[in-house]
């Protein structure tokens, strides 16, 4: 729970004062939303029993959530946002900007964030989307931090929301069992005393842009040129993704530690993208850190793409795994190929 409340308009010259000092983006509150529909491995009747057993063995996923028939990405995003705002005791009209990270948007246009702004009645906020697939959380935190540090905003609501159940081929064993739906939110505010987001690292390797993709539906393959409905579904080259994630995940941790001049022993908790238990344990091994420092909830939710880190962060805070003053590192890797990390003092 925040130790003070900032309501837009009460202190009109706060922004002017803080531009004269060192502005930091602190995490003021967090929230999450998971659909009620729980799909266990044994419920996946389209696959043989022998295959169902492999799901948990290969990735550690035992269940996932699926959005309702009439739930879209902005619905989940708005519910996570409301959870976050309610914890902050801040009114929605005090929010300066809304960023939504999603690789499963409501529509090609407009931005999913615009409907979220409407649903939560954040009438004074600008709103836009970003898409860096599963790395979107680290990219979004970095963008929000930059907006606040620059003095452009005092409050930014960052939401990551995904509904992969509606862009997957239910018969594709290489993708369908491993992904789930959900949304996480983070309210960042300007502060001159607490440190908040300390450093970030973002990277892209565009030569791998076809490793993770939804081929159809854009200008490269319009819907009128789809060869089959499955062309509009998510695809992934699993082995290549696994190798990339372990190598780049460990690499970006070391890079960020060096950039921030921080020892790995000072990190209270790593919040990694919740893709695969074997990827996370592989990263822990490479950086010579105990896997117990890596918070995991993928057993219950599967891979929720860019939303996984914000959901895991909110859970870890709620459970007391991390507390105010702790150093936490978020680490993500995904389509593009892209990867990134943020070092945050909670």
Q: Which of 7-21, 111-125, 202-216, 285-299 has the lowest average pLDDT?
A: 7-21
| 95 lies in the same domain as 226 | no
6 within domain boundaries: no
| 184 lies in the same domain as 203 | no
288 within domain boundaries: yes
Identify the band that residue 19 occupies on the pLDDT scale cut at 50, 70 and 90. very low
Of 134, 233, 269, 272, the catalytic one is 134
| 99 lies in the same domain as 43 | yes
pLDDT tens digits for range 248-304: 999 999 999 999 999 999 999 999 999 999 999 999 999 999 999 999 999 999 999
Q: Which pLDDT does position 21 carry in this prediction? A: 57
273 within domain boundaries: yes
| 173 lies in the same domain as 205 | no
The number of folded domains in the chain is 2
9 within domain boundaries: no
1 within domain boundaries: no
Residue 58 sits in a domain whose CATH number is: 3.40.47.10
Is 285 tagged catalytic?
no
Is 273 tagged catalytic?
yes
pLDDT over 50 at 204, yes or no: yes
Residue ending a domain, among 176, 193, 210, is 193
Q: How far apart are CA 152 and CA 133, in angstroms?
A: 26
| 183 lies in the same domain as 230 | no
Of 131, 276, 303, 342, the catalytic one is 303
| 270 lies in the same domain as 341 | yes
CB atoms within 10 A of CB 320: 7
| 155 lies in the same domain as 265 | no
Whether the Cβ atoms of residue 106 and residue 115 lie closer than 8 Å to each other:
yes
Is 303 tagged catalytic?
yes
CB atoms within 10 A of CB 133: 26
Q: State the residue range of the domain holding 80.
A: 14-193
| 18 lies in the same domain as 128 | yes
- 335 token code pair: 């389509």
213 within domain boundaries: yes
The strand pairing partners of 153, in sequence order, are: none
User: Which helix (H) or strand (E) is 256 found in, with range?
Assistant: helix 238-260
2 within domain boundaries: no
Identify the band that residue 230 occupies on the pLDDT scale cut at 50, 70 and 90. confident
Residue ending a domain, among 131, 165, 193, is 193
Residue ending a domain, among 160, 175, 193, is 193
Q: Which pLDDT does position 192 carry in this prediction? A: 82
Of 90, 73, 235, nearest in space to 166 by CA: 73
61 within domain boundaries: yes
Of 24, 273, 276, 342, the catalytic one is 273
């Amino acid at each position: 729970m925040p130790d003070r409340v900032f309501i837009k308009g009460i202190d009109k010259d706060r922004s002017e004062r803080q531009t004269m000092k060192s502005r930091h983006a602190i995490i003021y509150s967090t929230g999450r939303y998971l659909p009620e529909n729980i799909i266990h491995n044994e419920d996946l009747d389209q696959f043989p029993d022998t295959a169902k057993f492999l799901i948990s063995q290969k990735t550690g996923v035992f269940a996932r959530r699926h959005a309702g028939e009439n739930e879209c990405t902005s619905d989940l995003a708005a519910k996570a946002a409301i959870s976050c705002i309610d914890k902050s005791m801040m009114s929605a009209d005090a929010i300066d900007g809304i960023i939504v990270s999603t690789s499963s948007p409501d529509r090609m246009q407009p931005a999913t964030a615009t409907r979220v702004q409407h649903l939560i009645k954040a009438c004074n906020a600008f709103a836009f989307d970003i898409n860096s697939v599963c790395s979107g959380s680290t990219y979004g935190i970095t963008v929000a931090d930059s907006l606040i540090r620059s003095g452009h905003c005092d409050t930014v609501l960052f939401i990551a929301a995904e509904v992969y159940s509606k862009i997957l081929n239910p018969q594709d064993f290489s993708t369908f069992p491993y992904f789930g739906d959900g949304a996480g939110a983070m309210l960042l505010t300007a502060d001159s005393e607490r440190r908040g987001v300390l450093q970030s690292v973002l990277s892209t390797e565009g030569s791998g842009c076809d490793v993770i993709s939804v081929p159809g539906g854009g200008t490269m393959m319009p819907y009128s040129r789809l060869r089959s409905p499955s062309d509009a579904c998510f695809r992934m080259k699993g082995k290549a993704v696994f190798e990339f994630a372990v190598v780049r995940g460990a690499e970006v941790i070391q890079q960020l530690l060096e950039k921030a001049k921080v020892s790995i022993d000072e990190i209270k908790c790593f919040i990694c993208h919740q893709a695969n238990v074997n990827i996370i344990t592989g990263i822990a091994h490479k950086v010579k850190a105990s896997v117990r420092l890596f918070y995991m909830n993928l057993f219950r939710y599967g891979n929720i793409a860019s939303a996984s880190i914000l959901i895991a962060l909110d859970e870890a805070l709620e459970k007391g795994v991390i507390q105010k003053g702790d150093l936490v590192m978020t680490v993500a890797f995904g389509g593009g190929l892209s990867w990134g990390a943020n070092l945050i003092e909670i």
